[in-house]
Amino acid sequence: MAGVSVQAFRRQGRRFGAGLVCSEMVSCAGLSHGNERTLGYLRIAADEHPLAVQIFGSEPEVMAEAARMVEDAGADLVDINFGCPVRKVTKTGAGATLLDEPDRACRIVAAVAEAVDVPISVKMRRGLEKCSRQCLAIGPKLVEAGAATLTLHPRSARQMYTGEADHSLTAELVELVDVPVVASGDIVSLAKAQSVLATTGAEAVMVGRAAQGNPWALRQIMGVDEEPSREEVAAELILFIRETARELGEHRATGFLKKFYGWYLGRGRFPRPFKQELTQLASLAEVEQRLLAAAPGARFVLERLEDDLPQGDEILLDLPISVYGGG
Ligand SMILES: Cc1cc2nc3c(=O)[nH]c(=O)nc-3n(C[C@H](O)[C@H](O)[C@H](O)COP(=O)(O)O)c2cc1C
């Protein structure tokens, strides 16, 4: 998820039981131009594997070049974005618009599959417009072009995130292709995951928004249904803050993290004004202090968490040191 799936989020997802995690979408043009911030998305840690890195773009050759960089960075899978509905992306001919350009979409998949040895997956929406069934027309073609797996988020691009994901389309797609299909959209609980798996024949489910500030949702979907204590919540948030500051640098992390406070502290875990208070604080050190004051026992949970983390990142890419934001 763009603006969410930083390395700290992915590592946390793996710790809480996700079988595969995915990067934010990465611009193939940014990679091709050697844009330092874009290259930073290719920073991969040892405890993230298996990891997919998602790329977006509209030019087959540039996408192929980006895929090679992603493979060199150590990704286990290259995912191609044919689902992004955001205008900034679609106006460049990338993301969901490619669903209406099957020839170009297939040329992208073929070029990427040819360029790398790791498997290629495609993530798509149902189509551009409401009630579109375009994913069913294009899905088999993408497989023929080289996609080893398809992930379907069965909302239209126009829908953005409103309404419901129509997983009857996922079931239809499963019937049409002989590669594994992953179901994305509204997987928020074990019951929902089980019902989508049973009614669609999908091989796996993908969890998005439900895991934002709530890794315990992943544990619940894996069958362990325990609400976290306030200490656990505060400790996970502090760890997330520390890792994100290391990854993005203090300045970028400060703005980036604000939305996470509500996600972590909501759900009746902490009083409402508390989250507001955290977003007003000037430094991340102050946020940590406030969290520790509100849940003093978090200190011990945090120590345990940090002790259990693998020591040192496995950085596989030879990038300028500034990319690592001091980490
Ligand atoms: C903030 C946000 C960012 C997202 N960014 C991406 C992205 O970069 N690539 C992608 O394939 N899907 C992206 N998605 C879509 C999700 O992967 C997922 O398909 C969608 O949110 C439905 O699943 P959910 O109901 O579990 O959230 C994003 C969703 C959200 C909410």
Q: List pLDDT tens digits, range 225-272.
A: 899 999 999 999 999 999 999 999 999 999 999 999 999 999 999 998
- Give me the catalytic one of 28, 84, 106, 135: 84
**Does the pLDDT of residue 318 top 80, yes or no?**
no
98 band by pLDDT with thresholds 50, 70 and 90: very high
Angle, to 10 degrees, between the axis of helix 230-248 and the axis of helix 284-294?
170
Q: List pLDDT tens digits, range 174-197.
A: 999 999 999 999 999 999 999 999
Region 51-74: what's the mean pLDDT? Answer: 98
310 band by pLDDT with thresholds 50, 70 and 90: confident
* Ligand 1 center from residue 80 Cα (angstroms): 13
pLDDT the model gives residue 312: 58
Region 305-317: what's the mean pLDDT? Answer: 68
| DSSP 8-class letter at 131 | T
Q: Which of 99, 122, 209 to mutate to test the pocket of ligand 1 (most atoms within 8 A of CB)?
A: 209
22 counts as catalytic:
no
Tokens of 143: 């497989």
pLDDT the model gives residue 309: 85
Region 288-298: what's the mean pLDDT? Answer: 97
Q: For all residues of the chain together, what is the average pLDDT?
A: 94
Q: List pLDDT tens digits, range 206-237.
A: 999 999 999 999 999 999 989 999 999 999 99
* Ligand 1 center from residue 48 Cα (angstroms): 19
* Ligand 1 center from residue 200 Cα (angstroms): 20
The whole model's pTM is what? 0.94
- Is 215 in contact with 233 (CB distance < 8 Å)? no
Tokens of 307: 């002790």
Distance of CA 215 to the CA centre of its chain: 13
- Is 143 in contact with 177 (CB distance < 8 Å)? yes
Using CB distances shorter than 6 Å, the residues near ligand 1 are 1-4, 24-25, 54, 81, 83-84, 123, 153, 161, 184-187, 207-210
pLDDT the model gives residue 244: 96
121 φψ region: left (φ > 0), alpha (ψ -120 to 50), beta (else): beta
Instruction: Give the residue with greater pLDDT, 320 vs 277.
Output: 277
16 band by pLDDT with thresholds 50, 70 and 90: very high
**Does the pLDDT of residue 327 top 90, yes or no?**
no
Bridge partners of 247, per DSSP, are none
Helical ranges in the chain per DSSP H = 7-15, 28-32, 36-40, 60-72, 87-90, 102-115, 134-145, 167-176, 190-200, 216-221, 230-248, 250-265, 272-280, 284-294, 298-308
Tokens of 271: 């009083």
Residue owning the nearest CA to atom 2 of ligand 1: 1
Region 35-52: what's the mean pLDDT? Answer: 93
Q: Which of 25, 153, 186, 220 to mutate to test the pocket of ligand 1 (most atoms within 8 A of CB)?
A: 153
pLDDT the model gives residue 313: 56
